[in-house]
Amino acid sequence: MESNVRVRFAPSPTGPLHIGGVRTALYNYLFAKKYNGTFILRIEDTDQTRYVANAEQYIINALEWCAIPFDEGPGKNEKFGPYRQSERKDIYKQYADQLIETGKAYYCFDTSEELDAHRKAHEAEGKTFIYNWHNRAKGSLVNSLVLTADEVENRINSGDKYVIRFKTPQDEVLKMEDEIRGNITIDTNTLDDKILFKSDGMPTYHLANIVDDHLMEISHVIRGEEWLPSMPLHVLLYKAFGWETPKFAHLPLILKPVGKGKLSKRDGDKLGFPVFPLAYTNLESGDVSRGYKEDGYFTDAFINMLAFLGWNPGTEQEIFSLEALIEAFDLKRVSKSGAKFNPDKTKWFQQQYMQLKSDETITELFLPILAAKGIVIANEDEKARVQNIVSSIKERAIFVADLWDLSSYFFETPTAYDAKNVKKNWKEGTPELMQELVEIIKNIEDFSSTNTEKEIKEWITNKEIGFGKVMQPLRLSLVGKLAGPHLFDIIATIGKQETINRIENAIAKL
Ligand code: GLU
């Protein structure tokens, strides 16, 4: 049964979603799912000057890749729709008018030049100009608290530009509660009278956000700390409308890995890690920013990492599937202080998930990479062979893309040999020794890893020479460098003929 927990992720489509935004979406999602509630996507696109055409689709694609789908939103279960604020324009004006009628808001006709002049005059005296209780009705400003009703009507009818401002209650101590930060108290006289409705006929973020949260029956507002300063205004707006206030939870900032301050969209390029879930092409500059998906991260690894940026379960456990996160998530365990982003820890999560996934799953992901190298896996036997290879190298891989470098010698005869290692290990006498080894190998019947190991080691022991004298040149011949898993596993995997070919190749080339 659906509960009445209804939360929303309300991004403004001004560019790609940064991981801070994704984390906000994730925490909303986890909270909704934990309480059988509804997770809503609302696009807050009232600021047309900052609108970016491909941003909304990017946000939707990102949520999809993150596997945190919204229950209601643009084009989906639109029972409280539309979910794009630009399509709800007509709704907001009536609410602004309602506040005017009840005396909770007022018209302002001050031009930007006039306001600038006030600002400059204040600055000259070392003060800051704030449009609020102390000056709004004094006559130096041009608004409906100063003008007569007729004057106001005339101005509006003759097309004078105006904005509607909130008349912040005077001399009140506003008590608020945040699910993460606890009680917050503020003196309303320190607040300015924010614009609710702009001269371009559009609501500001504050008005649209409150009206929509109310109409969409939002129960909890879970959003970034940067919105905490707006909370008093929002709570006062709910009161002014006589509406029930939702619960608020302001999430801590995500901080730079080094130094001070908030992780910015630019930090990724500077510090060499993605700050976006998906790669993003800036439509104006054509610049492409990297994304976690394209860098090869698994969704579950990325989500697990993100969940821990500001929350912890209170236990030592670090690996959580999405289901486990839903189960464990608790707003009370979200920290108040900023969460430092850690690129190494992010890789660590990816590495953990690489190991957790079955060889079969990883093999399926590896096959397209092999196909791109021209290695076609035609049947189940060959696939099983690839799976064995994957199993032997997986623990050294962080990303699926690492698998090729770790295993190319299983699929291709080396064409180059590591010069430093050749110099150290391919000595006088080595070609003859290797030629002898070829003869030994030709006579091995059972070509399993254990048996080739047994027979070759017996031969070395009988010759009374050091193992390294044979094993190192052999590895160089088969792999091209002194790397890779257990040598006899390689031998068994590539088979007798290929082993012989590679040794002969090395003798000819080195
Ligand atoms: N549109 C705001 C943003 O871009 C929403 C803030 C809120 O959740 O109230 O983050």
- Condensed to tens digits (0 to 9), the pLDDT of residues 393-441 reads 999 999 999 999 999 999 999 999 999 999 999 999 999 999 999 999 9
Provide the pLDDT for residue 374. Answer: 94
* Residue 84 Cβ contacting ligand 1 at under 6 Å: no
Q: List the alpha helices (DSSP H) in 218-282.
A: 231-241, 267-271
- Distance between Cα 325 and ligand 1 center (Å): 24
Substitution candidate for ligand 1 out of 223, 226, 233, 251 with most atoms within 8 A of CB = 223
Q: β-pairing, 163-166 with 280-281? A: unpaired
Would you state the structure tokens that stand for residue 290, as one six-digit string? 């990297």
Provide the pLDDT for residue 49. Answer: 86
- Contacts within 8 Å (CB) and 24+ apart, 147-155: 147/109, 152/107, 155/109
* Residue 59 Cβ contacting ligand 1 at under 6 Å: no
- Cα dihedral 89, 94, 95, 99, rounded to 10, equals 140
Give the pLDDT confidence of 29-83 residue by residue, as tens digits: 999 999 999 999 999 999 888 888 899 999 999 999 999 999 999 999 999 999 9
Q: What mean pLDDT comes out for the span 157-177?
A: 97
Q: What mean pLDDT comes out for the span 340-347?
A: 96
Q: What mean pLDDT comes out for the span 310-335?
A: 98
- Distance between Cα 12 and ligand 1 center (Å): 7
Q: Can you tell me which atom of ligand 1 is nearest the CA of 213?
A: 9
- Distance between Cα 100 and ligand 1 center (Å): 25
pTM for this structure?
A: 0.92
Provide the pLDDT for residue 47. Answer: 86
Provide the pLDDT for residue 268. Answer: 80
Q: What mean pLDDT comes out for the span 479-492?
A: 92
b/e string for 454-489 if b means 16 or more Cβ within 10 A?
ebbeebbeeeeeeeebbbbbbbbbbbbbeebbebbb
Cα separation values, 175 from 183, 206, 336, 425, Å: 7, 19, 19, 77
Q: List the alpha helices (DSSP H) in 166-224.
A: 205-215
Q: Looking at the domain that runs over 419-509, which CATH code has it been given?
A: 1.10.10.350
Substitution candidate for ligand 1 out of 209, 221, 250 with most atoms within 8 A of CB = 209
**Burial category of 169 from C-beta neighbours within 10 Å (exposed 0-12, middle 13-18, buried 19 and up):** middle
Provide the pLDDT for residue 226. Answer: 95
Q: Looking at the domain that runs over 90-198, which CATH code has it been given?
A: 3.90.800.10
Q: Are 77 and 71 in contact (CB under 8 A)?
A: yes
Provide the pLDDT for residue 50. Answer: 87
Provide the pLDDT for residue 272. Answer: 86
Query: How many residues belong to the chain?
Result: 510
- Distance between Cα 188 and ligand 1 center (Å): 23
Q: With cut-offs at 50, 70 and 90, classify the pLDDT of residue 490.
A: very high
Compute the distance between CA of residue 363 and CA of residue 403 in angstroms, rounded to an integer: 10
**Burial category of 250 from C-beta neighbours within 10 Å (exposed 0-12, middle 13-18, buried 19 and up):** buried
* Residue 459 Cβ contacting ligand 1 at under 6 Å: no
* Residue 207 Cβ contacting ligand 1 at under 6 Å: no
* Residue 12 Cβ contacting ligand 1 at under 6 Å: yes
Compute the distance between CA of residue 493 and CA of residue 478 in angstroms, rounded to an integer: 11
Compute the distance between CA of residue 209 and CA of residue 212 in angstroms, rounded to an integer: 5
Q: β-pairing, 220-224 with 195-197? A: unpaired
Compute the distance between CA of residue 29 and CA of residue 13 in angstroms, rounded to an integer: 19
Provide the pLDDT for residue 51. Answer: 87
Catalytic residue among 239, 265, 383, 496: 265
Check if 265 is active-site: yes
Average pLDDT taken over every residue of the chain: 95
- Cα dihedral 347, 351, 353, 354, rounded to 10, equals 130
Compute the distance between CA of residue 210 and CA of residue 46 in angstroms, rounded to an integer: 13
Compute the distance between CA of residue 451 and CA of residue 462 in angstroms, rounded to an integer: 16
Compute the distance between CA of residue 496 and CA of residue 451 in angstroms, rounded to an integer: 12
Q: CATH topology of 1-74+252-353 equal to that of 419-509?
A: no
Fold for the domain defined by 1-74+252-353: Rossmann fold (3.40.50)
- Domain-by-domain residue ranges, the chain? 1-74+252-353, 90-198, 357-411, 419-509
* Residue 11 Cβ contacting ligand 1 at under 6 Å: yes
Provide the pLDDT for residue 54. Answer: 92
Substitution candidate for ligand 1 out of 227, 234, 238, 247 with most atoms within 8 A of CB = 227
* Residue 10 Cβ contacting ligand 1 at under 6 Å: yes
* Residue 228 Cβ contacting ligand 1 at under 6 Å: no
